[in-house]
Structure formats: structure tokens, C-alpha cells
Amino acid sequence: MPDDVPLLHADSALIVVDKPAGLLAVPGRGEHLQDCAATRVQARFPDARVVHRLDQATSGLMVFARGLAAQRCLSRAFEERRVAKRYTAVVSGRVLDDEGSIDLPLACDWPNRPRQQVDPVRGKPAQTIWRVVSRDAISGTTRLELQPITGRSHQLRVHLMAIGHPIVGDTLYLAPSVFRASRLMLHACALTIPHPLAEQPMNFSSATPF
């Protein structure tokens, strides 16, 4: 596996990698979008199967199953919310409260897909818990720890934008000239997941690169 997709763990049922920002999680449409974390992992582990995804712009922990039985087991764990995920984000503005939660339903913004939007009529339930890690008065930003309870597409990005604190570097939801950054400041830094065979919780972590 190329060095730019670090392998953190591999056994007979489970693979965990640290996906870099800018790399697709799974293949896109067209030959030019075939290079991704999944194909790179499968080049070394042909039985690797996708369990969940990260946005192309997001870095951090990504899990693969080895074989269909393990994939079904891990997918069920995600569906039943037996997987704990934690992210680090840098958002624009000074977040005044020290912690809180966001409960806003999300749906696809079809005319502008892949963008998502808050939609109280058609949206699916989505909840995010957040906690302030630090505030930077000079840059006018706040570093947050995020815990998504649900796993909707672009959930963290849309939820934070909805409360007035978009993630720095998010060019999909903000004009490129706003909050300039070399990348989207969102990283999947911690993951606890039940092992598909032994069923004991497995804990993984990845240092935030920003």
C-alpha cells in the first residue's frame, strides 16, 4: 500500500487506515476518479470491503472489513450505533458555549448535489455533540471536538454551518475566498468499534495534522 495511506491495523477481519485529505474514500464516476483509499487497500488486501466512508476533503480513520461476513457484522455495528466516532475541527468564529449539541434533520440539496442541507420536512434525523477544545483570538477560530451520533452525508459540515460556525477550508459550502486554508480542517481522530470476530471493543486514534 502506498505510504500516503498509512496502515494502522490489519487482522483476519478488520483493517484500519489513516486516509489523507484529498483522497477519495471509494471510486467516483469516470476513469480519472478510480484512485481512492478503497482501491489502494484492496491492492494489498483483495478481500477488503468498504464499511463506511469519509468525505474526500476529510482525513483520518477509515475502517474496512475482510470478507462479506465481517462487512455485514461491521455494517450492522454502524447501523446500531455501536461505533463511537470522534472528529477534530477548526471552525470560523468564537464559539461562546463550552459544549452543546445540534439536532437538525438533513437532506440532499438535489439541484446542487452533492451538497446537503437542513430540511425540516424531508430531512432525516441528524445529531452532533460538540465540545470546545480551544479558542484562537488572533485567527478568530475555535477548535472543536465533534461526536456525530448519526452518520448523514456531510453532517458535521452542514450542522456547523447551520449554527454559524462553518469549518475552515470548506470550499464546498463556502466561497473559496472565505476562510482560506490549505485543506478542510476536519479530521477523524478517534474510533471505537466492536471487532467482528471477538466482538470486544477496539480503540484507534490518529493525531490531528493541523
What does the chain come to in residues?
210
C-alpha cell at 92: 470560523
DSSP letter string, 8-55: EEE-SSEEEEEEPTTS-SS--SSGGG--SHHHHHHHH-TTEEE-----
Beta bridge mates, 108 = 116
Using alpha carbons only, what angle is made at residue 28 by residues 188 and 106, rounded to the nearest 5 degrees?
Answer: 55
Q: Which residues contact 140 (CB under 8 A, 6 or more apart)?
A: 92, 93, 94
Catalytically active residues are: 55
Half-sphere exposure of residue 179: CA atoms within 13 angstroms, side-chain side: 22
